[in-house]
Amino acid sequence: MVMYLSEAGSPLLIYLGVTLFFGGVILYRAKQKRAEKEISFYCGLVLLFLLEIVCFATLQSYLGLLIFSLACLLCCFYLPAPAMLPVDRKAVLITGSDSGIGHKLAKFLDQLGFVVFAGVLNKRGPGAEELRKTCSERLSVLQLDVTSSQQIQEAFLEVKKKLGNEGLWGVINNAGILGFPADAELLPMSNYKQCMEVNFFGPVEVSKTFMPLIRKAKGRIINISSMAGGIPMLRFAAYGASKAALSMFTGVIRQELSKWGVKVAAVHPSGFRTSIQGTPEQWNKLEQNLLEKLTPEVKEDYGEEYLLALKNMLSRLPNLSKPDLSPVLSDVLHALLAKSPHGLYTPGKNAYKYLFIFHFFPLWFYDRCMSNIGRVQVTPKALRATETKEKKS
């Protein structure tokens, strides 16, 4: 080992390797602990880097590495904890509270002492009734279809009336639809338009309408996007495009509203089991709508066997998703109450990993990874015929 360190250039390479290793560990630990990445955090990283230079320049290789490694370990285990604001009956509006993430969030925040305005698509539905029965008197159920300008305006007036002179601390744009996951060529235009209407235009109008109340409180806007809103994913052209638009909108208003003291964050969850995935009855309707809109040529090229495989893939989605929504709830709470919230949260397994691969690895490598995830076992009919001809020739 000593002989290896004495070779030309070896100590420098070892220092660089140790730096990359501990740098990755520190950033990972910071993400896990949601450490506040303020000036003090980055100053600490700079001091570690300066310590490394001093150790390399003045001490023997093994001794310098030992001191530097110990300093990095201390940094890993004693990262600053996030500074959180008190709940103090802060008022929050949540869209899409009938079920799924929105429903769980409404209950979770109500239990913590927030004044919750739970926007639902059906005020008389089972989700709304359950919220009334299980939550405190602080929670109000609002009829709020995010595609209806009239309902958005009525919800705004009701919230404003109940708050009086107080501002609204948070708007959580959660309402969304998935649609039928299929190749972009197969999706009818109605699917694209509906996804944009619910997943993008709805949150934009809700945000714009409630912004005066948010600015008054110097509060928070949190948009629940998706992993598909940050990276391209097979068979999510309509859904992913609408969520990508929402993520971009979030980034823009985060910059614009900072001068008002308003914090804005996007949440990109990975696969969680929610009602957005639909039911078998809804899948049948979506499939029928898709088949009706296909031209005979496209239907012939893809073949019924391929279309059936897409439907089977959709039916497997709930089994591939995680039922525990606590990572999402925890990240939303941090975005609501942290003094320095992050601009982007990636709760769930693989959400950050694939985002990292997409941004920092060659596209061919990313495409290979995603093809393994979204693979359909059946090849389109026209491609099978071409492959058969090539083999015979």
Cβ atoms of 56 and 12 closer than 8 Å: yes
For the chain, the distance separating the N- and C-terminal CA atoms, rounded to the nearest angstrom, is 60
Active site residues: 239
Computed on alpha carbons and rounded to an integer, the radius of gyration of the chain in Å comes to: 25
Cα dihedral: 357, 358, 359, 361 (round 10) = 60
Taking the C-alpha atoms of residue 48 and residue 51, their distance in angstroms, rounded to an integer, is 5
Alpha-carbon torsion, ordered 25, 31, 32, 38, to 10 deg: 100
| H helix runs in the chain, sequence order | 2-6, 10-33, 39-58, 61-77, 100-112, 126-134, 149-163, 189-196, 202-217, 237-256, 280-293, 296-302, 304-320, 326-337, 351-360, 363-373, 381-392
Sign of CA dihedral 281, 283, 286, 291: negative
Nearest one of 13, 170, 19, 18 to 95, comparing CA atoms: 170
Give the number of C-alpha atoms closer than 13 A to the C-alpha of residue 175, restricted to the C-beta side: 31
Listed residue (333, 323, 369, 355) closest to 105, CA to CA: 333
